[in-house]
């Protein structure tokens, strides 16, 4: 069974979707640890409520970059991470970790990449930009993490409609529903070795297609 | 009743979707003319079969840009165009025409703008780029034409899934089905004055919402 480590910075509703998936058997893996870049993240409470070990690795606690990166690598080793999930994690992962966990780190982004992604596009800001642009379709993307921002191979995407009277908050809620569907599905595909990466292309072997 | 002029360069399946819409009453407008940038376009035959007047305004016939642009403007005046539809039209419209028909020229693009659009993205090439990138969702966009390439306000968008074993041709066919749905719908919205443009935002008053 694969060990999943989830990295968070905030409320952790995407973390909750993975906790739920592991509990109800739709994810064949176990969360061995939750790491937060902020000690105030409500996701830490979600983890504790589910009996999952947590660590806070913040800039406040480790002001020197190298120390913080070493602490992160130590924590991943201690939790024996097979799969790393960025679930609203707002810090940049060090290149060393990206290279060590190539095609084993996934991120969720609240738009249809390559639209509305890259540096400066995170959280509510993404949805503000979608509405300013006047797009009629948005969505969510789960992708592997590489050295760029939101540039790694795409695992799953799903669209949602944008309504004429949407606020950024209303659109965010609609996209979150899709995030909570896609992220656990992608984690399960990783846990069951159902993902093949060929350059930029991710080929999925869904359940029942034989592994 | 609004006069629709359709500009084509090729096979004209999107033209056919508008011919059909006018015939079956889902579009409350009439096509007064079809203009092709190539005398070989099969869309010219589609127009003739439907009893619609046609003109060829090609680089071959009008090698001097200014002459060709004047011929185009003359043709639009002659056809008394209220609405101009670019249905696979591969030439650039002169700025003079774009300004004269502001928010009355629509274009169909075979991707979810702002993804896979801009200079160099047309026809099968768009779908090749989508597959190379590894996107899992694509789609079609109907938008107003402004001075940029694929930058005008978006009227309608709809997504289609990308399959792991897609060829550019297979994806193109799936997107074309959506194009033939969106383009006549956008033309009908224009014909019935159901479109309000506010900066980049297009607000639709669909049938039944009162005009």
Decide if pLDDT at B159 tops 90. yes
> Across the interface, do A204 and B115 touch by the CB < 8 Å criterion?
no
Closest A-chain CA to B141: A136
- Confidence at B206, pLDDT banded by 50, 70, 90: low
Percent with pLDDT over 90 in chain A: 91
Give the strand pairing for B137-144 and B105-109. antiparallel
pLDDT in tens, B1-47: 999 999 999 989 999 999 999 999 999 999 999 999 999 999 999 99
> Across the interface, do B112 and A112 touch by the CB < 8 Å criterion?
yes
Strands, E assignment, chain A: 2-8, 29-36, 54-56, 83-86, 105-109, 137-144, 154-161, 195-198, 201-204
Return d(Cα A89, Cα B151) in angstroms, integer.
32
Q: What is the mean pLDDT of residues B175-182?
A: 98
Query: pTM of the prediction?
Result: 0.92
Q: Which residues of B are known catalytic residues?
A: 109
Query: Does the complex come out with an ipTM higher than 0.95?
Result: no
pLDDT at residue A210, rounded to an integer: 42
pLDDT at residue B210, rounded to an integer: 42
Strands, E assignment, chain B: 2-8, 29-36, 54-56, 83-86, 105-109, 137-144, 154-161, 195-198, 201-204
Å from A143 to nearest chain B CA? Answer: 10
Compute CA B26 distance to the chain's CA centroid, rounded to the nearest angstrom: 17
pLDDT in tens, A32-52: 999 999 999 999 999 999 999
- CA-to-CA dists, residue B16 to A91, B2, B76, B91, B157, angstroms: 52, 18, 20, 20, 20
pLDDT in tens, A115-172: 999 988 888 999 999 999 999 999 999 999 999 999 999 999 999 999 999 999 999 9
Of A134, A137, A200, the CB nearest to B139: A137
Cβ proximity of B3 and B32 under 8 Å: yes
pLDDT at residue A211, rounded to an integer: 39
Strands, E assignment, A44-194: 54-56, 83-86, 105-109, 137-144, 154-161
- Interchain CB contacts (distance < 8 Å): A and B: 72
In a mutational test of the A interface, the residue from B130, B137, B146 whose CB has the highest number of chain A CBs within 10 Å is: B137
Decide if pLDDT at B111 tops 70. yes
Cβ proximity of A106 and A187 under 8 Å: yes
Instruction: Tell me the chain A residues in contact with residue B135 when contact means C-beta distances shorter than 8 Å.
Output: 112-114, 154, 157
Of A113, A135, A159, the CB nearest to B154: A135
In a mutational test of the B interface, the residue from A159, A162, A166 whose CB has the highest number of chain B CBs within 10 Å is: A159
Closest B-chain CA to A134: B201
Q: What angle do CA B155, B160, B162 make, to 5 degrees?
A: 140
DSSP 8-state class, residue A168: H
**B152: its two tokens:** 């005008």
Say which residue the tokens 């969702």 belong to: B137
Decide if pLDDT at A207 tops 60. no
Instruction: Tell me the chain B residues in contact with residue A153 when contact means C-beta distances shorter than 8 Å.
Output: 134
DSSP 8-state class, residue B83: E
pLDDT in tens, A67-85: 999 999 999 999 999 999 9
Q: Which residues of A are known catalytic residues?
A: 109
The phi, psi pair for A6, rounded to 5°, reads -110, 130
Cβ proximity of A78 and A58 under 8 Å: no
Q: Radius of gyration of chain B from Cα atoms?
A: 17
SS3 (DSSP) at A195: strand
End-to-end Cα separation, chain B, in angstroms: 15
Which H or E run contains A186?
helix A168-191
Cβ proximity of A181 and A155 under 8 Å: no
pLDDT at residue B211, rounded to an integer: 39
Cβ contacts of B2 within 8 Å, gap of 6 or more:
B28, B29, B30, B82, B83, B190, B191
Cβ proximity of B8 and B57 under 8 Å: no
Give CB contacts under 8 A, 24+ apart, made by A69-76: A69/A94, A69/A96, A69/A97, A72/A35, A72/A97, A73/A97, A73/A100, A75/A5, A75/A33, A75/A35, A76/A5, A76/A35, A76/A101
Of B153, B157, B201, the CB nearest to A137: B157
Q: What angle do CA A199, A203, A207 make, to 5 degrees?
A: 155
Instruction: Tell me the chain A residues in contact with residue B203 when contact means C-beta distances shorter than 8 Å.
Output: 164
Return d(Cα B193, Cα B183) in angstroms, integer.
15
In a mutational test of the A interface, the residue from B142, B144, B159, B181 whose CB has the highest number of chain A CBs within 10 Å is: B159
Which H or E run contains B64?
none
Å from A195 to nearest chain B CA? Answer: 11
> Across the interface, do B136 and A157 touch by the CB < 8 Å criterion?
yes
Decide if pLDDT at A208 tops 70. no
């Amino acid at each position: 069974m694969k060990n999943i480590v989830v990295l968070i910075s905030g409320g952790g509703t995407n973390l909750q979707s993975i906790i739920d998936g592991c509990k109800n058997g739709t994810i064949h893996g176990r969360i061995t640890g939750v790491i937060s870049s902020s000690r105030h993240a409500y996701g830490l409470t979600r983890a504790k409520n589910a009996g999952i070990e947590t660590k806070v690795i913040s800039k406040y606690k480790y002001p020197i970059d190298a120390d913080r990166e070493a602490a992160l690598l130590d924590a991943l080793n201690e939790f024996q991470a097979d799969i790393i999930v960025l679930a609203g994690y707002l810090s940049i992962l060090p290149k060393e970790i990206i290279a060590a966990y190539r095609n084993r780190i996934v991120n969720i982004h609240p738009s249809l990449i390559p639209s509305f992604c890259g540096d400066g596009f995170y959280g509510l800001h993404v949805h503000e930009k979608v509405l300013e642009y006047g797009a009629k379709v948005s969505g969510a993307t789960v992708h592997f993490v590489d050295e760029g921002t939101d540039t790694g191979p795409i695992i799953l995407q799903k669209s949602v409609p944008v309504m004429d009277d949407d606020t950024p908050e209303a659109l965010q809620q609609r996209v979150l529903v899709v995030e909570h569907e896609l992220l656990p599905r992608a984690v399960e595909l990783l846990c069951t070795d159902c993902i093949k990466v060929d350059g930029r292309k991710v080929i999925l072997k869904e359940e029942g297609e034989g592994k």
